Amino acid sequence: MYGAPVTQQVRVRFTVEPNYAGWRLDRYLQEKIRRLSRERVQRLIEHRLETEDGRRLKPSTRVAPGLSFALLKDAEAEPDTPQEFAVVHDDGALLVVDKPAGLPVHPTARYAANTFTSLAKLRFPERKVDPAHRLDRETSGLLACGTSPEVTKVLKRDFAHARVHKTYLALALGAPVEDAFTVDAPLALTGASAVRVRMHVAAEGLPSQTAFEVLARRRAPDGAPVALLACRPRTGRQHQIRAHLAHAGLPMVGDKIYGPDEEIFDRFTRRAMTDEDVALLRLPRHALHAWRLELPHPLTRAPVRLEVPLPPDLAAFWEGCAP
């Protein structure tokens, strides 16, 4: 089931986190909305920003932790998204769901109503469901949430201190030389790409490490080699698995940014993808699935181990590949 497109004026709300203390407001918003240029961000601040107390903020305003404001946005028809998600685990404190591909977790400049957090408010109106980690919109699979601020705080701390172990499944184009390998390559937003959110391997980047294990090898209908990989990120950078696979010469099937041509992503955002783009991608979304999750329970500290299989779209692609 998909939600109908939503057209309205929306308020995209922001609360400044402690690690951004002292940043210029325009730089803070550029960090949060990376697809917008600095000029565009400055225009939004001047004409489309409102604060709780009504005071005017400038692009050069230095932000402080806890500062709250909203950007007014005349929303285009919001893209439709899946409106249902399966509950994998719910004990009253820890909620873990199987997020479908195509559903954003949090509101963004493009999505406001059709998000997991919005759906969770409707489904659990008496609980404060808050995801403890990120999953990209196109990534499917396990998403761990707290159901109260106290529980969510513990969960987020466990993620930050590497007490949570995540294993993803990915379908990658190419033939890995070894059945088990590790990519240890620092990642950074360098601005070297036309796609502003693309992460690059760069010496000045943050330490980033992912362990990969080949679970099976097949060939796509056109003869291209495809590998089913278990991916275990040891750090938590943006797009880490996708960027590391591209760096290893094993781009993920369906990846519009790190795949055959990053300009496909630009055409996708403009709804201008070509038949050649679709053929190159092989799948309409990147083939990444949050498969397994191991974590201490946020209240009892007992180990919790969860797993969800490949969703139908990825399973169908894999079954269509020859052993």
Distance CA 194, CA 31 (A): 16
Residue 14, pLDDT score: 93
304 beta partners:
295
Segment holding 247, helix H or strand E: helix 240-247
Residue 191, pLDDT score: 82
3-state class of 280 per DSSP? helix
Tokens in use for 190?
């360098």
Confidence label for 34 from pLDDT (cuts 50, 70 and 90): confident
Confidence label for 3 from pLDDT (cuts 50, 70 and 90): low
112 beta partners:
none
Residue 8, pLDDT score: 60
Contact between 148 and 93 under an 8 Å Cβ cutoff? The reply is: yes
Residue 76, pLDDT score: 67
- What residue ranges define each of the domains in the chain, with the CATH number in brackets? 9-74 (3.10.290.10), 167-288 (3.30.2350.10)
HSE, side-chain direction, 13 A CA sphere, residue 283: 29
Q: How many CB atoms lie within 10 A of CB 322?
A: 9
**Is pLDDT of 155 > 80?**
yes
**Of the candidate ranges 6-10, 66-70, 118-122, the one whose mean pLDDT is the lowest:** 6-10
Backbone angles phi, psi at 92, to 5 degrees: 95, -25
Task: Measure the N-to-C terminal CA separation of the chain; round to a whole number of Å.
Answer: 33
Residue 12, pLDDT score: 86
Distance CA 315, CA 225 (A): 16
Q: Which residue has the tokens 């040891």?
A: 234
Segment 53-112, tens digit of pLDDT:
889 999 999 999 999 999 987 756 778 899 999 999 999 999 999 999 999 999 887 787
Confidence label for 31 from pLDDT (cuts 50, 70 and 90): confident
Q: Are strands 180-184 and 303-307 parallel, antiparallel or unpaired?
A: unpaired
Burial (0-12, 13-18, 19+ Cβ within 10 Å), 149: exposed
Contacts of 191 (CB under 8 A, 6+ apart): none
Distance CA 318, CA 172 (A): 11
SS3 content of the chain, % helix, strand, coil (to 5): 20, 30, 50
User: Where in the sequence numbering do the catalytic residues fall?
Assistant: 136
Distance CA 91, CA 34 (A): 37
Segment 194-232, tens digit of pLDDT:
888 899 999 999 999 999 999 999 999 999 999 999 999
Distance CA 173, CA 160 (A): 31
Segment holding 157, helix H or strand E: helix 149-160
**Of the candidate ranges 81-85, 191-195, 270-274, 317-321, the one whose mean pLDDT is the lowest:** 191-195
Contact between 147 and 94 under an 8 Å Cβ cutoff? The reply is: yes
Sheet strands (E) in the chain: 9-15, 49-51, 68-74, 86-90, 94-99, 130-131, 140-146, 165-173, 180-184, 187-188, 200-201, 209-219, 225-233, 288-296, 303-307
Distance CA 201, CA 190 (A): 9
Residue 196, pLDDT score: 84
Q: What is the pTM of this model?
A: 0.79
